[in-house]
Amino acid sequence: MAKVVSCKDVGMDCDFVAHGETEQDILEQCADHARTAHNMTEITAEFAEKVRAAIRDEAA
């Protein structure tokens, strides 16, 4: 089942939504987005865990 998470799910005022088949797909997309859109130079373990906790199964 596909996975999904949005920036809003982790408290950001942003409309970005990541879709992927695995948690790793989502984390990679979110890390790339955080660097380019939010100028985050470092993705901390705490932030990665916050994203991981917000990932959910995508509704069919």
pLDDT recorded at residue 40: 93
pLDDT recorded at residue 41: 92
pLDDT recorded at residue 21: 95
The number of domains in the chain is 1
pLDDT recorded at residue 18: 97
Return d(Cα 20, Cα 26) in angstroms, integer.
Answer: 6
Those residues whose C-beta lies under 8 Å from the C-beta of residue 25, and which sit 6 or more positions away, are 3, 18
Beta strands in 1-60 (DSSP E): 3-6, 17-20, 56-57
| Contact present, 3 and 56 (Cβ < 8 Å) | yes
Question: What are 27-40's pLDDT values in tens digits?
Answer: 999 999 999 999 99
Domain carrying residue 29: 3-57
pLDDT recorded at residue 16: 98
Which amino acid is it at 45?
Answer: A
pLDDT recorded at residue 59: 83
Residue segments in the chain with a per-residue pLDDT below the cut of 70: none
